[in-house]
Amino acid sequence: MNEDQLLYEGKAKSVFRTSVPGELKVIFRDDITAFNGEKKDTLAGKGEYNARVSAFFFQYLEKNGIPTHFIRMEDERTMVVKELTMIPLEVIARNVAAGSIVKKFPFTEGQLIEPPVIVTDYKSDEHGDPSINDDLILALGFLSADGLRDVREMTLKINKLLKDFFAEAGIQLVDFKIEFGRSGDTIYLGDEISMDSMRLWDEKTGESLDKDVYRFGKGDVLSAYGKVVDKILQTL
Ligand code: AMP
């Protein structure tokens, strides 16, 4: 009998409480959604691809000094993680202009952003994930001044590590979204790092290898996600 208790059902992951205090289980489902759930499908194998990539990067980042919630994989789509109190922010690092930043500001698609920029959204479906700035984050008590600094430093370090890793694999890391949480006094990287939350372009062909393939009907999503998994495995 599965005694795990469902805590939270997101758009592509389900989170369960286990019998072990301080540990949760995250199941990466095969569901894929875009435009705040307006577009929705199930693609057999997608959950496993994202789980494998997330597990790989959590371990890679841990080795490089970033605290993450990753504990171990239980099966190919079930990740055991440390329970965190999540901070309701989506922290986005951008190396190349694409997506919403091109709509909102006078960047051209594909323009290099050097040094990279970090932008932050308040994670709230009810409020429509609006942009938020440091003053608002402090006023709302989401982070202290020290916490803000730590999140910024960690995000820049994660960006450099991921960008260099992908460059070796012939992939350009355009941007990505991460989320953090707290346990005690420590801020950990939580959530996931997958093709659902990054923008990745093949360096040779410019082809998208991420959720934009699904968002904009650019081709076979699973084969794009599979290419990232293969390229990661080749660099090991
Ligand atoms: P955008 O602001 O739509 O250009 O997205 C910037 C980056 O963050 C892209 O890599 C998106 O895939 C990712 N991203 C933005 N919002 C979300 C979200 N709610 N869930 C997962 N990834 C997101």
Give the pLDDT confidence score for residue 157 in this predicted structure: 98
What is the side-by-side strand order in the sheet with 89-96? 131-132, 112-122, 89-96, 171-178, 198-202
> 25 by DSSP, 3-state: which?
strand
Beta bridge partners of 154: none
pLDDT tens, 132-184? 999 999 999 999 999 999 999 999 999 999 999 999 999 999 999 999 999 99
Atom of ligand 1 nearest to the CA of 176: 10
The minimum-distance atom of ligand 1 relative to the CA of 101 is: 4
Which residue CA neighbors atom 4 of ligand 1 most closely?
99
Q: At what angle do helices 221-235 and 46-63 cross, to 10 degrees?
A: 30
Query: 233 or 229: whose pLDDT is higher?
Result: 229
Instruction: Tell me how far the alpha carbon of residue 236 lies from the centroid of ligand 1, in angstroms.
Output: 27
Give the CATH superfamily of 5-82: Phosphorylase Kinase; domain 1 (3.30.200.20)
Ligand 1 centre and the CA of 19: distance in Å?
Answer: 33
Establish whether the linkage from the previous residue to 67 is cis, with ω within 30° of 0.
no
Integer Cα distance of 178 and 142 in angstroms: 15
Phi and psi at 167, nearest 5°, equal: -60, -40
pLDDT the model gives residue 2: 59
Return the CATH fold of 85-226. Answer: D-amino Acid Aminotransferase; Chain A, domain 1 (3.30.470)
Instruction: Tell me, in angstroms, the distance from the centre of ligand 1 to residue 10's CA.
Output: 15
Give the mean pLDDT of the chain.
97
Ligand 1, pocket residues at CB < 6 Å? 90, 92, 99-101, 175-177, 196-199, 211
pLDDT at 224 over 60: yes
* pLDDT of 211 above 80: yes
Ligand 1: which residue has its CA nearest to atom 22?
A: 197
Q: Which pLDDT score is estimated for 132? A: 98
Work out the percent of the chain whose per-residue pLDDT is above 70: 99
pLDDT tens column, 5-30: 999 999 999 999 999 999 999 999 99
Q: pLDDT band at residue 3, thresholds of 50, 70 and 90?
A: confident
Which residue is closest in CA terms to ligand 1's atom 20?
197
- Rounded distance between C-alpha atoms, residue 62 and residue 77, angstroms: 20
| Tens digits of residue pLDDT in 181-190 | 999 999 999 9
Q: Ligand 1 mean position to 198 CA, how many Å?
A: 7
Q: From the CA of 136, how far away is ligand 1's center (Å)?
A: 21
The domains of the chain are located at: 5-82, 85-226
Alpha helices in 118-187 (DSSP H): 134-139, 145-168
Give the pLDDT band (50/70/90) at residue 89.
very high
36 has a pLDDT exceeding 90: no
Query: At 236, is the pLDDT very low, low, confident or very high (cuts 50, 70, 90)?
Result: confident
For the chain, the farthest-separated pair of C-alpha atoms sits apart, in whole angstroms, at: 55
Predicted pLDDT at 234: 86
Task: Tell which atom from ligand 1 comes closest to the C-alpha of 98.
Answer: 4
φ/ψ of residue 123, rounded to 5: -80, 100
